[in-house]
Structure 1
Amino acid sequence: MTKKFTDSGIEIKELYDSKDQLKPEASAPGSFPFTRGVQPDMYRGRLWTMRQYAGFSTAEESNKRYHYLLSQGVSGLSVAFDLPTQIGYDSDHALSEGEVGKVGVAIDSIEDMQTLFNGIKLEEVSTSMTINATGFILLSFYVALAKQQGADLKKISGTIQNDILKEYAARGTYIYPPKPSMRIITDIFEWCGNEVPKWNTISISGYHIREAGSTAVQEIAFTLSNGKAYVKAAIAKGLDINVFGKRLSFFFNAHNNLFEEVAKFRAARKMWAQIMKDLGATDPKAMMLRFHTQTGGSTLTAQQPLNNISRVTIQTLSAVLGGTQSLHTNGYDEALSLPTEEAARIALRTQQIVAFESGAPDTVDPLAGSYFVEALTQEVENAAWQLIEKIDAMGGSVSAIEEGFIQDEIARSAYEYQKQIETGEKIIVGVNKFQVQQEDPIPVFKIDDSIRTIQTNKLQQLKTNRNPAKVDQCLQYLNDKATSGENIMPAVVEAVENKCTLGEIADTLREVFGEYK
């Protein structure tokens, strides 16, 4: 008989019964260890936040898309930034050529941030920003804009990704070496705790680890290990785990193996609760794993792209049945280009159909008690703990990344997966089976290279209209704070309010911290 396995290599039995239900989860939803969900009533009380990840071209163009998405029923915004913004270069920098506005929106200054959120009251919307190395600068732009709008900073809500460890391991948009990067992150934890208490200061991301080729088990093992490293760094700085622990959030991927994905989400909650308890948390809210999910970009195919609508639907169901707090669904055309407006709308409608027509949100943890799901949850958990123990033995995530262990594990899994596709052991519909000879062309979304000229002109105008002496003073003040070891966030906020650019702020810290190669 042919054996069946999940993508993590967990063997699937032909039949599950009561003997396989290892130890049913005794705790109720909303209580430790939160396997069954972080709220007692889950979606009966409030649906997950429906986000659409969007950002391209200029702030003006992205602002139009945000207004469109809000008119179509999104309940939270999610901002994609272009590559220069992510790695701390202004649009007029030589290294920015060919990349401005391509994979996200170009944000060089407070003025771009004003344009990006024109007509949107920041006090009334939750905003997630996928930004890491320069997360502290984008958060400062956002806070400065909220102050200009007269918002109560105690009511501002949202998330910056701010997860640098996975950049070294899987994604590559880092600037500074690990130690100063960890210091910036703990500065953000401390500052937000006092100034913007509802802001999620980090979204510890398994998404990009999975996109780089990891399995579901590796995704949660490496993500939770990174989370542990951030918590230990914050404790070492003297921060209270029961305070900053409540503002940690996670970001996971949803792939096509419906039951393994549900098991992954349930296991991750249980494991994080135990990790936080072991690290000294006593407040249940500081032990809760709250997470955003994005459907799997790497699962989407350029061949027969309309099939991706079905893939995204399965992935949406896995996130909802697994208890996500927030969800972004990918456009069917994203293997070809940034999503068109039509693709973004269909992706949002997929969430709305699951929310209002499927019945999936009507009861808490609907797959609990399934012999298969309970056994799989336990197996995913066991396999993930084994990996975490290996990382702990190396001295934690930072050491494991420096030794190349995590990168090697991801590369090995990616290779194995690709090999299975090439041999036909794993079937991808429309790619290695059920192909068609000729496909109808799909309209793609193109970004014009002239955006760099537009952004460069804006920067020239900004620099003409600001006070050069004040800019120099602000950047020197930031340099002093970075050198002395004091919290840099007040200095960054002051710098952006005085029209210092993203590149100028990033370069000031390059002088102090150096660059990671």
Structure 2
Amino acid sequence: MKKLITEKKTARLHDRKTARPYMKHKKLFENFPPVSTDEWMAKINADLRGADFREKLVWLTREGFEVMPFYREEDLKHLSHVDGLLPLMFRNGEGERNTSDSGRAAAQWLIRQDINVSDYREANLKALDVLMKGVDSLGFIISDPESVSEENISVLLDGIEPCGAEINFLPNGKAREIIAALKSIMQRKGINPSSLRGAVEADPLGLLMADGSLCIPLEDGLDYLASLTRETKALQSYRNIRIRGSCFTDSGCSTVQELAFCFSMAVEYLAQLTERGISPDDAASAMKFSFGIGTDYFMEIAKLRAARIIWDVIADSYAPADKSSFRMEIHSVTRKWNDQPEDPYINMLRTQTEAMSAIIGGTDSLTVNPFDITTGQPDEFSERMARNQQLILKEESWFGRVLDPAAGSYYIEELTSLIAEDSWKLFLEMEDKGGFLEALNSGFVKSKMENTIDGEKNRKS
């Protein structure tokens, strides 16, 4: 009997093995006749019973896009970006290996947590703690620039291995002093400077837009940025210019406006830095883009994909010596503008879908804001929940296993194209006005933002 059971198991196993090639190549729908778009439309119009198709089923987004109720493979034929987007997501050198491991590595985003630095030792202890809880990207917010010194930076980084985590600084000044301190610390510890990843995030144009003025004349601020860029170049994997799109989304801008304003600002930086003797390659490799992610799930996925397409077109116009220097580094932040202080726990639902959009869209790093961030200083519980939201997506939902999972989705590919086209048009309109600074000073940027905010209020009323 035991022998008979063993023989039956072996036979079933053999049957499964021989069946696999057949099942693998069988086309499950080959017995069903193809249905054309005209046939689908005829069926839809019959079901509408005389009602207007566009009025009933076509959705108009806040960006002004007309979204159809269905899309088909034939809709991809007019989209030129479909085959060229994936290589833009690979980090430097990964695409050349062309293996499943390199794709998986490229799909792995960094989980970032920002830490307010008032006491450098306390901030260091908190950083060491969160690194043991799944964080692999740190953002140190230094509000008091007078506290910046090599001694304090050394205390802040005590016990933190540069190769184990991305280290970012968001200072309110003294960026060059931070870079000098980092170089000295790396040399003293015998650490290869190229192992340091992250950024000292300087953004004079963003500060000018937000505050209306700088603490120094703008030209002096841009001279300072050029010096900072030269000094940061020795840290090969480190960046020093922040293109902060999240400030536009937190102000209520549309997706198209966020991208257009960001790229206009980036090109302004390129123009200003090249005038000061810095090559386009070095200027571009110093930039890090930060985008705000809202609750419009598919639109936000498409936004990040469209951003890489536009930046690639801009890169080609500069004829860089090394195209990889223009590789777009994207950090994403869940949007504060959506959060409701009167019902903070609902914010966890919002930020979870926002995190999913950012990851599927191909972000390189992500900050999920704690659910109580709009009510004051987040506590230990809300920060832990924000970390765990990403850890669940990475370790339990396996979001980090596939690069560009939205590729080939008829709807998302169409949205990607629409966002890229409209953002490019608005970007060119700003360039025709003389660039970002001219558009900002003339009130063009403010006018566009106000029109969108007013339109959104009217749409909800």
TM-score tier, shorter chain, comes to: 0.7 to 0.9
CA distance in 2, matches of 1:45, 1:147: 29
**8 Å Cα contact 1:207-1:294 kept in structure 2:** yes
Tell me the secondary structure at the aligned position of residue 161 of structure 1: strand
User: 1:25 aligns to what?
Assistant: 81
Classify 1:43/1:59 alpha carbon distance in 2 versus 1 (closer, same or farther; 3 Å). farther
- Structural mapping, 1:428-439, within 5 Å: none
CA distance in 1, matches of 2:177, 2:338: 32
More helix by share: 2
Classify 1:155/1:339 alpha carbon distance in 2 versus 1 (closer, same or farther; 3 Å). same
Residue 71 of structure 2 corresponds to residue 11 of structure 1: no
CA-to-partner distance for each residue in 1:387-420, whole Å, 9 max, x for gaps? 1111111111122122222133223323333444
Structure 2 residue corresponding to 1:66, chosen from 124, 127, 133: 127
CA distance in 2, matches of 1:299, 1:139: 35
C-alpha displacement of 1:172: 5.7
CA-to-partner distance for each residue in 1:137-190, whole Å, 9 max, x for gaps? 433344444445444334322212212212222356832232221221122222
CA distance in 1, matches of 2:82, 2:250: 34
User: 1:44 aligns to what?
Assistant: 104
Q: What letter corresponds to residue 267 of structure 1 in structure 2?
A: A
CA distance in 1, matches of 2:204, 2:163: 27
Structure 2 residue corresponding to 1:389, chosen from 428, 445, 460: 428
User: 1:136 aligns to what?
Assistant: 176
Greater Rg over alpha carbons, structure: 2
Q: Which moved more, 1:257-266 or 1:13-22?
A: 13-22
Residue 301 of structure 2 corresponds to residue 241 of structure 1: no
CA-to-partner distance for each residue in 1:66-85, whole Å, 9 max, x for gaps? 12211101112111233xx3
**8 Å Cα contact 2:334-2:367 kept in structure 1:** yes
Q: Which has the higher contact order (CA 8 A, sep 6+)?
A: 1
**8 Å Cα contact 1:56-1:81 kept in structure 2:** yes
Tell me the secondary structure at the aligned position of residue 415 of structure 1: helix
Alpha carbon RMSD of aligned pairs, Å?
2.5
**8 Å Cα contact 2:175-2:228 kept in structure 1:** no
- Structural mapping, 1:400-439, within 5 Å: 400-421=439-460, 423=461
**8 Å Cα contact 1:35-1:267 kept in structure 2:** no
CA distance in 1, matches of 2:278, 2:287: 13
User: 1:448 aligns to what?
Assistant: none
- Structural mapping, 1:258-407, within 5 Å: 258-407=297-446
In structure 1, runs of 5+ residues without a counterpart are 91-106, 424-517
CA distance in 1, matches of 2:172, 2:202: 4
Residue 95 of structure 2 corresponds to residue 55 of structure 1: no
Tell me the secondary structure at the aligned position of residue 227 of structure 1: helix
- Structural mapping, 1:150-161, within 5 Å: 150-161=190-201
User: 2:251 aligns to what?
Assistant: 212
CA distance in 1, matches of 2:299, 2:351: 16
User: 1:120 aligns to what?
Assistant: 160
Q: Which moved more, 1:148-157 or 1:62-71?
A: 148-157
Tell me the secondary structure at the aligned position of residue 80 of structure 1: strand
Classify 1:398/1:67 alpha carbon distance in 2 versus 1 (closer, same or farther; 3 Å). same
CA distance in 1, matches of 2:178, 2:247: 20
TM-score, reference length from structure 1:
0.71
CA-to-partner distance for each residue in 1:74-127, whole Å, 9 max, x for gaps? 112111233xx3xx5x4xxxxxxxxxxxxxxxx344443333333334465321
C-alpha displacement of 1:355: 1.1
- Structural mapping, 1:161-240, within 5 Å: 161-170=201-210, 174-193=214-233, 195-240=234-279
CA distance in 1, matches of 2:255, 2:91: 19
CA distance in 1, matches of 2:214, 2:364: 27
